[in-house]
Structure 1
Amino acid sequence: MSSSYASFSVEPRLLRAFVTAAEELHFTRAAARLYLAQQALSRDIRRLEREVGAELFSRTTRAVALTAEGERLLPYARRVLAAYEEFAAACAGESRPLLVDVGGPVSTGRRVLAEARRTAP
């Protein structure tokens, strides 16, 4: 394995954002599917683009399209996510903490956490 790949690590959340945006070709609809703010989805896509070193989407005020690099990487991202979900299912019997990513004010995070605790103590 090349040393440049040895330190390469992409969070499943970023791949999920990429795949969903690629399926929707609309950031607002993709964000809604992921229960994210559109700004959070855009931030995640930009971060993934920085990590892979390529622009994955061509964006204008009227349209979103996959670039050639985005088209090339999409099937790989889908396979990684499928493997990740298979791994998570194998671990389903394990007790895991609930992780909540809130990019808003602290008071918003507290409300989200309180609601999560209420619905899934």
Structure 2
Amino acid sequence: MPKMVLTAEYISIAGNDLSEYTRKGELKVEVEEKDVTTYASLGWKELLGGLKSGELSMEVLQDVAATKIDSIMWPLLGTVVPFEVRLSQAAASASNPKWTGFILIKGWNPIEGGVGDEAKVSVGYPTSGAVLRAVA
């Protein structure tokens, strides 16, 4: 059985490669459940898929220097921007697909943590529109 360890995930937001800051990235996509159970279902619940949605979550190490992560993300607050994620920083291919779409930058936590913690930021951004999977 093939196995994989994430060692070089690629995350781009608004055309900015954020891989050098990111230590955790997750893309979740789901479909609403719509209950269409009737008496004819004979006591069994029947479901259909409804609207699709997604979220891109990440944990990044904070850097407030000019041109670094904080100065990239702060101006994006409140905007809908493109994203791309891949399991590896290698080019998209059949063995390294990419997922793309748009996300709403609905928040940014410039300061997070306690005494002795690394300066990090944990955020989650909802997708806006379709999330696409491609191999090139």
Tell which structure's C-alpha radius of gyration is larger: 2
Tell me the TM-score normalised to structure 1 length.
0.25
- Looking at secondary structure, tell me which structure has more helix per residue: 1
Higher strand share: 2
* TM-score, normalised via structure 2 length: 0.23
